[in-house]
Structure formats: structure tokens, C-alpha cells
Structure 1
Amino acid sequence: MSSSPQAPAPAVAADADTRPSLTVLSGFWPAATFAIARALLAADPSLLLLRHDLTGIRDGVIRRVVRSAAGIVEDEQVNLRHGCVSCTLREDVLPTLVRLTRSNPGRDLVLMLPEVVEPEAVAAACTSCLVDGAPITDLIRVDSYVTVLDAEHLLDALASTDDLTALGIQAADDDHRALADVVVRQIEYADTLVLWGQSREGAFDTSRLTVLLERMAPWAAHFRIDGELVDADALTRQLRHTHRHRPETPGVLARGLQGYALGTHEPEADCGVVSTVFRARRPFHPQRLHDVLEHLNAEVIRSRGHLWLASQPDTVVAWEFAGGGLAMGSLGHWLVSLPEDRWEHVCDQRRLAAALEWDPYYGDRHQHLVFIGLDVDPVALQRTLTACLLTDAELADGEETWRSYPDPFAGCFPLTAEELIDTDTEGAQPA
């Protein structure tokens, strides 16, 4: 059994930042998101807002609009080489941000994303795509990723089993994402959440949505706007120049592996909302886990995390559920299954998290799952998951026996001989 990986040295704090700031607004309901954008423009006449209309994207055409508080500055149709979101980001969004910064020195920017665009895709493009040979972050400081949620429609969206293609709003011909997945990812990547308006079911339901969002994204700052009377100056203080964005923070599938919180354990219902965290060291028996998959998420709005199966002890298995669909996939190797000379290729935060909880027998392998829903029975859920773990007798049989178990998941999470953990690029697939 390998020893614990050596913890990395802490990073050095950065100097004060003087670049103009960029606030990224996302949200599935454009009316609510644009209302927030207009309020920010009203509070700061120097602010510039960039929007893209993707209605014609599948034909390779988009519309770019730049606004200030005084009105429209630009309104142009743009032809793309390929009609897709990544091409839009690479070919027009990022170059336009750079151009606006250079032609309007000292003016901050707001980027309002189309409703089907996930903010994590923008963050990845800002890091990896170059404009004039350099990343845009050389010129612009990404201050915050803000997601705006419409209280009237949020719960219906989270419970929806529709995909974007069925709704006719897909961003590409091969875009088969579920509506609920898009909304969930907009919520979970944000560092700031704004709940706009009121639920049509009344004040209690609005409060329940507030609690639900706090459970789904406990790492974010949360604000409520009633939608009728907006204090633009107060909203600006809440949303701009907050320095909330931390580019080093991983996406939700990698959070638990890198030692970040995946959720909060709040088993007592608050407005009916329950959040329960399941942690364990023992592996799951593949057949017993498979037999309860449908039951586990019956009352759940969102579940996420990672796990390990006795039959596949080298693989970190991703788990995420939203909108009635469970997706599972490979997140690479557990460190304990890798030669020590390959640990240096794993990110520092990942090695530090493993070092802090290293077990002499299991190494860094563990179960870490979070379930969030309305009127969920956390005790029953914990008991069901615990019953799926190996018993003492099964544990004593050892790893060679575990690998021979009948496995409904066989072949679902392949690992290549040279594969390293890369939780930024690998994702879950429908189970």
C-alpha cells in the first residue's frame, strides 16, 4: 500500500489588481437576467454590457449587442465559421471583450450570457483561449460569476425532464443537454446567486426556494430581489467589485476530490428542504448499489459527488443527478492506485486533500455524496446507502475477490494505462 502523498507548499498572495473588472451574468430566464443588467447600467454610466443572441447559431449567425446606460453602442450580426457555443466564445465574445477594454480604458464590463450557456464554459475559455497571443485575463479581471434565477419558474425547471432539443433551444444540432442540468450548472458554478421575483405559490414557497439555493450552492453569496422595486446602487454594491471569483476553484465534480465542500449536512427540514451528506471509507458492492439507484433519487432534486466500487477499486466514479436523470462517469485514478512518481502530475490541491485524510488501508479512496430535495427522509437514505457497502465478511475477502464480483457497471468507467486524474476535463455520462 502506498504512503500518503506529500502536501504542497501554500501559494503566495497576489498583488493588488488594477485591471478593469468583468462581471459575468448567467441565467436561464433572460428577462430576469437583463433586469439585473439594466440596474447595474443605471448605477454606473461608464459600465458596458455585452450580449449575444444565439437564435441563429445553428446557421452560423449570431447577433452582438453592446449597451451603456445611454443606449445601444453596437448592434451587429456576426457570421461564424462553425455554429456552436465554443466558436462564439472563441471567435467573438473574448475578442470583443478585449477590443472594448482597449478602446474604453478604465471602463468595467458586464457579460450577459445567453440562457443555454453555462458559466464554466466561459471560465474555461478565458483560461485556455488566446486573443492576440495572450489570455484575456492579462487585460481584464474576472470579478464574479453571477447567476440570476426566476422564482416563478425555478422549481419547475429543476424538476423538468425535458432536454434543450425538445424545447427547440439547443445551442447546436448535437446539444442534448437537459434543461435541469443547464440550470443546475449555472447555479453551482456561480459565486453569487440572485433570486429574482416571487414564487407564484406565495411567500412560503419563495422562502423555500431561498433555502434550496443555499443548500445547492453553500459556497455562493445569496441575494433576493423582489422584482418590483430595485435599488440599483445597493445591487451594484452586492454584485460588483466583490472579488468573489476564484479561478483555482474546481468544477462541482472535482470539488470533493480537492477538499472543497460538496454540500452541507442539514438533515432537519427547513421549509421542507433537506440536504444530507453521505461519507464512508468502505467500497460499494456494485450489484447492491445498482439495485437501489432509482430508489435513491426518488425524492431528490439534486445529488452529486464521487464514489468507489469494490469491483473497480482504481477508479474515481463521478455521480450527478438532476431533472430525473442520473449520470455516472470516470474521474480518473485514485492516487493510491498510481505509482508515487506520478503523484507530482496531480494538482496540488488534490494531493493536499488526499494527504489530510489518507487511510493506511484505503489510501485516498472514499465515498462522498450529497443529496438535496424536498421532504427527503435522510435516515432512510443513509441506511440504504450503508446497506450497499461491503460487509465485514466481504471486506475480509480482499481486493482480488472484489474485482471478480458481478458488476452491472462493468465497462462504464474505462481507465487507460497512462491516465492521470484530470477532473477538469472528464465528466459523468448517463447511467
Structure 2
Amino acid sequence: MSRLAQTGATESPTELRPALTLLTGFAPGATREAADLLLRADPTLLVVAHDLSALLDSGTVRRTVRDGGGLLEDERLTLEHGCIACTVREDLLPAIVRLARAMPERDLVLVLPPSMEPETVAAACSWCHVDGAPVTDAVRIDSVVAVCAPATLLDTLESDQDLADRRLQAAEDDTRSVADVAARQIEYADTVLLWTPGADRDGYERARLDVLLRRLNPWAEHLLADGEDAARLAGRIRRSARFDPEAPEPHGRGLEGHPIGCHEPEPDCGVVASLYLARRPLHPDRLHRALPELAGRTLRGRGHLWIASQPDNVVAWESSGGGVSMGDMGPWLAATPDAEWEESSPERRANADLNWDEDFGDREVRLAFVGLRFDAAELAAVLDGCLLTEAELAEGRAAWREYPDPFEGCFESKERNQA
């Protein structure tokens, strides 16, 4: 789920702010090598990186800045609260702004640590101020590039570990999983780079991973680093203007009418992608019992849904590494007073109008799954079995609210009124 600008987007000829390229990924070696490639193509680049390995133990962060001539800065800082949010707010953003103001003619590359999600940095750039001015006054995000290494990609997406298992957590209470973070890095990117220098260009494994990445993020620009000229590849990565700060947040794409995935149920190099759409609500208990099977069959799932016992709430769905994360996305427009519709985006209101259902309004189940050699029809059958039956639909919304609900209390904005 990316924030991809319109195809063919170009820079404004009057744009004077330095361009900032974010390199993200769960393979630090490949990400650093990608930064080196960009630096070889343009030695004037300023490459900024943060080492967080001592963050939890001592609250210490190491920041380096280098260009084609070598190391320009190497500083160790002790933060009052050792966490990634503090690193972004107290050091990363001030450093980016300082460098952009001091050398406005030089672009920047920010190499993100594996556990730092690009969405967090991009969001901070949009609302944080440094020295009384917005970060975006000094620098603009040009693109978010997810760098993926063939040797580790599948193991990462299949991992059942939490970040804490690898000592990569952002804070002591960080419960994010390795697979979930890696998937979100890929989905948020507007450019996905499969890093395969020296590998067999026509190899089956390379082809399989290329298909997998295209299914995980079908709206990004996909590039292959396979030993081609550094300047040529760098030219395809930098100053693309692919990042769109006005695009919907990844978890809200479906609500605003944007695709959340593609439907390719026949395996391509073993990779399967499927979309599931339904208007009926899901039975809370049957859905809860189906969670292990739904998550276990696929590498990644994303989208939104509604549960019969909580019919006013849009529920976000993310699955990866065999686990499921569900969260509150606010009320459906059908459960929102008319006077409050203006608080939703024009795109969401237009999408709701186009797809309005006489019985359910804008309520729907919209999910996308990607995995290896799973049966899309069987997965859809599992979900079909979770939907309310005709007899249950006939019971009405008041009866649905009284169903035994394993998700009771999980969604903060839940309304138990009788609307």
C-alpha cells in the first residue's frame, strides 16, 4: 500500500528544496549497498544513517553522514527516552533540516534502520517543526524505496518472531512482528528494488520473488538491481517525484476506492494473489475460529471488514507471519450522522455513493491476500463460512449485537446503541 504519485509525475521546474530519498528494508546490507550505488552515481549526495543497536540498553544513537568523499559526521547521542519516536523527533528530523539548509544544492538519502517504518518518518515530516518551521519547508520527500534481498525476503515475510526476539524493537513495549513490519515497508513504498547484483537474471527464484513483490505492492514502480550501470539505475530511482503526500494512508486505500491488491488466483512462479469482497457481515465467533486458518494459508493479508455484533465499526485487517492484527478505523458512513459526513474525505464519500447498498450502506468486507501456492477458492470458502446465513440476516441488527463476541472491547470506538 503505497503513496504513489500519478504515473508520469515530474518535478516542478521551480522546486528548490533538496530531494530526500528514503531507503527502507529488512536487509541492512542490501539497503547500505543501494545507498552506495546512489553515491557512486552522484558523489554530492548526503547519505544519512542511524545505528540503533545501543538504543534500548543505553539510549544511545549513532548518526553518520557521508558523501562521495567519505565520512562527514559521526556522532553518538544519548536520548532522554530511548525509543525510535524520540530518535526521529530529536535527531533525525533536525539533522535532515540542518543539512538541507546548509547545503540546499545537494540531495539527501536517508537509510532507515530495519525497525523504522517509512510511514512514521514521512508522517513526522508532514507535521513536525524544526526551529519553528515545518520540515517540509526545508526538504521534500521524493520517493520511498523498499530494498529487498533475495536471500532473506521469504524468511522475513514468513517469520513468526516479534522485533523483540531480534532486539530490534522501537521501545520496551513494542510488540510489532518482523513479518508485519517488513510487509508494511514494501506496501508503503512507491519504488520496490529487488537487490540482486551478481545473481542469475533469469533464475527461477529471482523471478518468483519479483512476482511476489509485484503482488504485495502492485502500484509501485518495480526495479531490479542486477549489475546494470550505477548511473542508469540511480537515474530510475532518484528524482522520480513518485511520492505523493496527498495519497491516502495505506490502511484507508480501500475505503477511498483505491485498489488494495490484485486478483491472480492462478499461481505465477508459485505466487497467488486473491481478492475477497462481500456485503454481508462476518459472524464474530466463526471469524474468530477461522483466524489461524486464514493467516496460516498466506504470507500477507490486508483490507477492512465489518462484524455483525459491531455493525457501526470499520475494522482494519492485517495478517502476516501466521498472526492477525485487527483495529478500529472509525465508523462506517452508514453509521455516521449526515452532518458529520463532511469530516470524511471527498474520495471516501464518492466511493460510498458509487457502491451504496440498500441494506448495508457502505459496509462491506474487502480483503486482499498474497501467498505461495494457496488455493484462492478454498480461502474464499473459509471466509464465506464466516458470513451470516440468510436466517441470521433475518434476525436483524438488534439480535446481531447480542451474539457472543470474542472481539468485545477490542475496538475503541465501538458503539453499543440500537441505531
TM-score by length of 1: 0.89
**Is contact 2:288-2:406 (8 Å) kept?**
yes
Letter in 2 for 1:342: E
Deviations 1:134-154 (A, max 9, x none): 221112121000010111111
Q: 1:347: which partner in 2? A: 345
Q: 2:41: which partner in 1? A: 43
Change (3 A) 1:392 1:416: closer
**Is contact 2:295-2:320 (8 Å) kept?**
no
Where in structure 2 are the equivalents of 1:247-266 lying within 5 Å? 247-266=245-264
- Shift of residue 347 of structure 1? 2.5
Deviations 1:371-405 (A, max 9, x none): 11111101111122122212223222221122222
**Structure 1 residues without counterparts, runs of 5 or longer:** 1-12, 418-431
- Shift of residue 167 of structure 1? 1.6
- Shift of residue 132 of structure 1? 1.4
**Is contact 1:286-1:310 (8 Å) kept?**
yes
Q: 1:413: which partner in 2? A: 411
- Shift of residue 15 of structure 1? 6.1
Secondary structure of the residue that 2:244 maps to in structure 1?
coil
Q: 2:240: which partner in 1? A: 242
Letter in 1 for 2:55: I
**Is contact 1:272-1:374 (8 Å) kept?**
yes
Bigger drift between 158-167 and 402-411 goes to 402-411
State how far apart, in whole Å, the 2-side matches of 1:393 and 1:55 are: 56
Number of equivalent positions = 403
Q: 2:60: which partner in 1? A: 61
Letter in 2 for 1:323: G
Q: 1:156: which partner in 2? A: 155
Q: 1:205: which partner in 2? A: 205
- Shift of residue 311 of structure 1? 1.3
- Shift of residue 252 of structure 1? 2.6
Letter in 2 for 1:97: I
Secondary structure of the residue that 1:328 maps to in structure 2?
strand
**Structure 2 residues without counterparts, runs of 5 or longer:** 1-9
Question: Would you say 1:82 and 2:86 are equivalent positions?
Answer: no
State how far apart, in whole Å, the 2-side matches of 1:414 and 1:205 are: 43
Q: 2:177: which partner in 1? A: 178
State how far apart, in whole Å, the 1-side matches of 2:137 and 2:102 are: 16
Secondary structure of the residue that 2:105 maps to in structure 1?
coil
Letter in 1 for 2:223: F
State how far apart, in whole Å, the 1-side matches of 2:394 and 2:334 are: 19
Where in structure 2 are the equivalents of 1:376-387 lying within 5 Å? 376-387=374-385
Bigger drift between 347-356 and 61-70 goes to 347-356
State how far apart, in whole Å, the 2-side matches of 1:207 and 1:103 are: 44
Which of 271, 274, 281 pairs up with 1:273?
271
Letter in 2 for 1:18: L
Secondary structure of the residue that 1:66 maps to in structure 2?
strand
Q: 2:137: which partner in 1? A: 138
TM-score by length of 2: 0.92
State how far apart, in whole Å, the 2-side matches of 1:401 and 1:175 are: 38
Secondary structure of the residue that 1:297 maps to in structure 2?
helix
State how far apart, in whole Å, the 2-side matches of 1:287 and 1:176 are: 25
State how far apart, in whole Å, the 1-side matches of 2:311 and 2:216 are: 29
Which of 23, 28, 31 pairs up with 1:30?
28
Q: Percent identity?
A: 51
Bigger drift between 264-273 and 293-302 goes to 293-302
Deviations 1:218-258 (A, max 9, x none): 111111113xx342111111100111001122333221112
